[in-house]
Amino acid sequence: MFTNDPFEVQFGAFKKKEDQNPEKISFIHASDIHLGSYQYRNEYRANDFIFAFQEILRLALYYQVDFILLGGDVFTSLEMLPGNLLKIVDNLKNFKEYTNGNIPIIAIEGNHDIRRFSRGVRFSCRGQSWLKLIANLGLIVLLDADMEAPAEKMFSPYDFNENKGGKIQIKNVIIYGNRYLNENPEHYIPKIKNAIKKDINYFSILLQHYGIEGQMKNVPGIKFTKVLPLKEKVDYLALGHYHLQFSLDGWIFNPGSSEAVCLADSYFKRGVFLVEVKRKNKKFFKNIKSIRLTNRKNLREIIHFRTQFIKKNELNELIIKRLKNNLQFLDSKILPSNTEMPILYLILKGNKPANSCKINEKEIRKIICEIFPVVDVKIYQKFDNPIKTLDGFIKVYNF
């Protein structure tokens, strides 16, 4: 949680940019922050996702942007520890108070924000989300078009009294947005296109939450040809959903997740986009900079069992011996609150241990965390029945 006057300590008193030229504007585009993640039921990992969000807010101050875009999956689910929700709300309150509301946060709901399942529990009431809560507190602008309305009414201007609307204007930029629709939103695209009014005097941004087919191998997404008609109306298609950062055709941008949600994410290029838009000779020009956030370190160790273990103590001794040899470079004085202390992904391969030597992952995790300066351990058993998704991922991306 931020301390008293956290931003002022680092940046001094906040001042609006002296250059108020409406022909120039800048913003940060982030997505898939997954606040509320309680990965491995580890409090330090839960804080990592909040720290990533704090860093996004600090970057907005450092670069004195005009607004922040969040492309969905800001939260990971409706299930949230009260203490973590309080930290997030306090962050947003401090940020708004410090900036006098001059750097608005514009967001849409992703599939995680509105999903009705969490750890096997179905939420009976539709339409609930933490984003709606913080929007009602006046801490963010939550865009959501009325997809059933006629085209001329679909993207209604944002009403700050009702905290509702599908579009908002900031300087010479108009931002349109709607929540995650479903896994196949292609049939909505013509309707969205017809609802957006193109004006050459305004730079148009559309916030959406879906992936583009082919940008992540073996992961479904919308065909680029289906999205292409939007280019007539949209100057910057701001996406969220895929945790891998990509840009396409000079107008489609996906920043990737702000923190690694799983082992696969740790291999991806991820972060945020810093976007500067200038208008010259009645044309808009974009300058896009990718910024990597300061995330928790990740280590991957593979231990191959060349013989079949029968005794558990011998198996555990081998694991510790191998790790002592491979992890001797780690700083034993580092604290787990420091993101330099890594998460260890331990992959066990080779001959599967005998039934009398069944691996107790909880026990091994405890032993490893007591001996080595790692914040947590995730163990993958890849013996006779390898994890196809992980094997396939490493093969496809050559890791």
The letter for the amino acid at 231 is: K
Q: Is 222 part of a structural domain of the chain?
A: yes
Whether 284 and 364 map to the same domain: the answer is: no
Going 350 to 352 to 354 to 357, the CA torsion angle's sign is positive
**Statement to judge: residues 209 and 307 lie in one domain:** no
Specify the pTM.
Answer: 0.89
Whether 345 is in a domain gets the answer yes
* Extended beta strands in the chain, E state: 24-30, 67-70, 105-107, 117-118, 121-122, 141-142, 167-170, 173-177, 203-209, 236-240, 246-248, 252-254, 272-280, 283-291, 298-305, 343-350, 376-382
97 assigned to some structural domain = yes
Helix (H, G, I), strand (E, B) or coil at 54: helix
Q: Which of 248, 272, 291 is the last residue of a domain?
A: 291
Output the six-digit token pair for 227.
């999205």
- Whether 308 and 276 map to the same domain: the answer is no
Predicted confidence pLDDT, tens digits, the chain (399 residues): 444 556 666 666 666 666 567 679 999 999 999 999 887 888 899 999 999 999 999 999 999 999 999 999 999 988 888 999 999 999 999 999 999 999 999 999 999 998 755 444 444 445 789 999 999 999 999 999 999 999 999 999 999 999 999 999 999 999 999 999 887 789 899 999 999 999 999 999 999 999 999 999 888 899 999 999 999 999 999 999 999 999 999 999 999 999 998 888 888 999 999 999 999 888 999 999 999 999 999 999 999 999 899 998 999 999 999 999 999 999 999 999 999 999 999 999 999 999 888 889 999 999 999 999 999 999 999 986 444 445 554 454 444
Which residues 6+ apart lie within 8 Å of 153 measured at CB?
146
Kindly state whether residues 373 and 235 are assigned to the same domain: no
Check whether residue 223 and residue 286 sit in a common domain: yes
Q: Do residues 316 and 236 both lie within one domain?
A: no
Boundary residue ending a domain (242, 265, 291): 291
Residues 253 and 391 in one domain: no
pLDDT at 391: 52
What tokens appear for 142 in the block?
């939550």
Q: Is residue 98 part of a domain?
A: yes
Specify whether 221 is located in the same domain as 177. yes
CATH code at position 281 = 3.60.21.10
Q: Nearest 5°: CA angle at 35, between 131 and 80? A: 80
> Measured between alpha carbons, how far is residue 199 from residues 20, 22, 202, 284, 338 in Å?
21, 15, 6, 12, 48
Does one domain contain both 260 and 285? yes
**Amino acid at site 172:** N
* Buried/exposed code over 36-64 (b: 16+ C-beta within 10 A; e: otherwise): bbbbeebebbbbbbbbbbbbbbebbbeeb
Instruction: Give dist(CA 346, CA 233) in Å, integer.
Output: 48
Q: Would you state the structure tokens that stand for residue 295, as one six-digit string?
A: 């995330």
Statement to judge: residues 214 and 357 lie in one domain: no
Residues 287 and 304 in one domain: no
Residue 1 domain flag: no
367 CA to centre of own chain: 31
What domain range includes position 378? 298-396
372/155 Cα distance (integer angstroms): 54
In a domain, 209, yes or no: yes
Number of separate domains in the chain: 2
- Domain-embedded: residue 378: yes
Considering the domain architecture, whether residues 176 and 304 belong to the same structural domain is answered as no
Whether 307 maps to a domain, the answer reads yes
Do the beta carbons of residue 374 and residue 341 sit within 8 Å? yes
Last residue of a domain, one of 273, 291, 309: 291
Evaluate whether 70 touches 31 at the Cβ level (below 8 Å).
Answer: yes
